Each structure stands twice: as C-alpha cells, then as structure tokens.
C-alpha cells in the first residue's frame, strides 16, 4: 500500500475555517481524513500541508511513526516551523491513523492501546461575551442561561471566559466585576456542576494571583492559561500562590514543547490540542510524560468535527485523561459536512466501533461552505489608552 496524494478541503465555519486533510492510497476506496484547523492561519497551514506532500507520497501510510519522523526531522527547521508546521503534520498524522484503522477494520482507539474507560466526560465552553475594552460591562445572566441549557443536555461541567482584557496590573473594579460574575454563575449552577475559568493568557502573574484569590471560594475545577504561554517560570510563580488547579498547553506542540512544563510541575493539568501538538501519537507521548508527574490531561478542542472524533479515540485510550472540551454546535450544518457515528449521552461521548476515526467527509456538502476570512475577534482588543492587549 502506498500514499498516492494528499489534499486539503477548507470549510468556513464562521469563527474559523476547518482544514480537512485527505490522504489517498493506491488501494481503491481506501483513504483517510484528518484535521489541521488553525484560526487565522488557514492559508499558511494549507501551504504547509502541500510542502509535506513530496516527503510522503509513495510511502506506506501504515508507518505512522516513520512518516511523522520524516515530516518533522527532514524539515530541518523543525522548531522554527512552530505551530503552523505542527498543525499540518497533525492533520496528516490523523489521516494516517484513519487509514490504518480502516485497513484493519478496527477503530483507531484499539490501535492506541485499547479502551481504558467506557465513556468520555465532556464539557462545553459558554464563552463570556467579553469583547471590546477592558472596562466593558459583562452580563452574568447570559452565561447562566447557557450553563443551564448545557446542564439540561446532560453536561456536568462548563467553562467560561470572564477574565477582562488585562493590563500588567488589574484594578479593583475589574477584579470585583470578575469575582461577582464567577460567584453568580457558581450560585446558579450549584456545586454539583464543575466550573472552569479560561484566563486566555490575558494576565500577568501578579494580576492572575489577584484574580484567582478573588474566586478561590468558588472552587473552580481548574483555571486555564492564567499567564501567556511563553514563560513557564511565570506560570510556576502563580501555581505556588493559589490552591486552585491550573491548566495550560493549547498553544504548545510536541513532547519537547511540554517538557519544561511537566518537569517543573508548573500545572496540574496539561491541554494539548490534537490538531496542533503533532497528532494522536505525539499526544499519547505527552500524556505519558505527564502521567509520571501525576498530571491529568484535558485536551483543548474548539475545532471541527474530525477533531472531535480524534479526541474521542485519544480519550478512550489514555489513562490520565480527565475531561474533554467539545465543540458540537458552532454551525447548524456541522454534521452535514462530516458524517459520524459519534454519540453523546448525559454529558459523555460513547465509544464508536466504526473502523478508523469513524467519520467521512461529504465533499459536496463541504463545497457549499468555501474559505472565507474568519471573524476577527481581536480588532478591538484595547485598553483605555488604546494600547493592544492580549485577547
């Protein structure tokens, strides 16, 4: 069996463009699908996938690790190609696993070590509506309404972004507003539903500690990206000053990119994104390293339906998996474009026994939603003096 071609199918889903990767073989009817979606870098990722094609066409698609090593190491600029390059590799790698599963007539999770759990706990992201300046007034009721709708659908955990766009220090009104929003939401959903707070990398260590102290009584399940991702020591500084569990990792790739976080015990939970970190097998390696430090894994996933399917197989086969972010209702035609046997029940995904990843792309339906520039959420992310802030 040989790889004959690799192509991308781009589908605009309003907030982002999904980049689906199709790897075709010389076996009639045997091909695999992966996902390489990356917000606002669609053109670059598509181009990067094309750059990898000469490296792998003609190769055996079942040699997944071998092909990963070719794409990573023969690129030479492996660290410099960063998340764009690793996103392209991730999409191809997922498609290779899909081919492997289909060729053996087994679901991918059985190739990743087999099932270690019977179902996969999910949480959904409520957003937060906080666009505009750092002093914008937020409305807790919107988040409460969304949370109650999610709970009615069976979810037992939800996440919000209530953290204001932050300057190096956060003033008292902003801190009190943040605390009031979190307390209102906690009061509405009660203690039986886990609540996560996404800081979105907006805060400095001092501001993060200030905000975390304000909500300690609400006992968040975890707080995510409490500082920007570049400085691990800054993250460790925050961890040493709070009892709230911390999580990070969505903007890092490969086991090498997670090494310092794990070895310094800088967080309690790592959050690799399967579409960015190098794919399923690399995520398994990252999780295994984290397991030696008693860290849980809660993969990041705000992306498309193939990413959902890949996340299910990872979660089913990973012992220290904790909970999975899902994205099931971003556009109403999501499951018209990708056909799936994915089933949810009471806030959990159930195992899928279909071969491969258990998905197929309807390319005719996908063609109805061609590439468009995504909605840019960052254009008005400014402080009171007009300076650019992390969004």
**DSSP strand pairing (359-361 vs 338-340):** antiparallel
Q: Which two tokens stand for residue 156?
A: 């037992």
Of 125, 200, 268, 313, the active-site residue reads 200
The secondary structure element, H or E, covering residue 18 is strand 17-25
**DSSP strand pairing (194-198 vs 222-224):** parallel
In whole angstroms, give the CA distance from residue 197 to residue 202.
12
C-beta of residue 324 within 8 angstroms of C-beta of residue 349: yes
Cα distances from 3 to residues 61, 67, 236, in angstroms, run 6, 11, 44
Terminal Cα-to-Cα distance of the chain (whole angstroms): 46
DSSP state of 3: E
Active site residue 300: yes
DSSP string, 253-302: -HHHHHHHHHHTT--SEE--BTTTSS-HHHHHHHHHHHHTTT-EE--B--
Of 276, 300, 313, 369, the active-site residue reads 300
> Alpha-carbon torsion 378, 81, 330, 139, what sign?
negative
The secondary structure element, H or E, covering residue 325 is strand 324-326
Q: Which residues pair with 342 in a beta bridge?
A: none
Active site residue 125: no
The secondary structure element, H or E, covering residue 125 is strand 120-125
Per-residue buried b or exposed e for 54-65, using 16+ beta carbons within 10 Å of the residue's own CB:
eebeeeebbebe
The set of catalytic residues is 200, 300
């Amino acid at each position: 069996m040989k790889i004959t071609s690799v192509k991308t199918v781009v589908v605009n889903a309003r907030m982002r463009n999904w980049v689906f990767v199709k790897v075709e073989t010389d076996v009639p009817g045997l091909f695999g699908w992966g996902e390489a979606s990356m917000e606002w870098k669609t053109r670059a990722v598509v181009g990067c996938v094309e750059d990898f094609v000469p490296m792998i066409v003609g190769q055996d698609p079942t040699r997944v690790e071998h092909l990963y090593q070719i794409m990573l190491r023969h690129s030479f600029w492996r660290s410099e190609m960063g998340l764009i390059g690793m996103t392209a590799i991730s999409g191809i790698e997922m498609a290779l696993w899909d081919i492997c599963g289909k060729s053996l007539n087994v679901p991918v999770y059985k190739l990743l070590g087999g099932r270690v759990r019977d179902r996969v706990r999910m949480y959904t992201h409520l957003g937060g509506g906080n666009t505009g300046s750092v002093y914008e007034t937020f409305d807790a009721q919107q988040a409460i309404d969304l949370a109650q709708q999610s709970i009615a659908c069976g979810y037992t955990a939800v996440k919000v972004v209530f953290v204001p766009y932050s300057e190096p220090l956060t003033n008292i009104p902003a801190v009190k507003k943040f605390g009031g929003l979190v307390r209102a939401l906690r009061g509405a959903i009660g203690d039986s539903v886990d609540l996560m707070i996404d800081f979105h990398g907006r805060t400095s260590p001092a501001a993060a500690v200030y905000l975390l102290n304000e909500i300690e009584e609400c006992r968040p399940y975890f707080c995510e990206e409490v500082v920007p991702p570049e400085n691990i020591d800054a993250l460790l500084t925050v961890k040493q000053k709070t009892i709230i569990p911390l999580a990070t990792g969505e903007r890092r790739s490969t086991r090498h990119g997670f090494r310092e976080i794990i070895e310094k015990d800088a967080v309690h939970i790592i959050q690799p994104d399967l579409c960015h970190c190098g794919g399923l097998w690399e995520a398994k390696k990252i999780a295994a390293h984290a397991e030696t430090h008693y860290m849980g894994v809660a993969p990041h996933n705000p992306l498309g339906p193939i990413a959902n399917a890949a996340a299910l197989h990872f979660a089913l086969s990973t012992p220290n998996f904790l909970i999975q972010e899902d994205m099931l209702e971003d556009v109403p035609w999501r499951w018209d474009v990708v056909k799936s046997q994915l089933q949810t029940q009471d806030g959990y995904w159930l195992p899928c026994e279909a071969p491969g990843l258990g998905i197929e792309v309807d390319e005719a339906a996908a063609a109805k939603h061609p590439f468009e520039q995504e909605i840019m959420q960052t254009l008005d992310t400014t402080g009171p003096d007009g300076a650019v802030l992390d969004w």
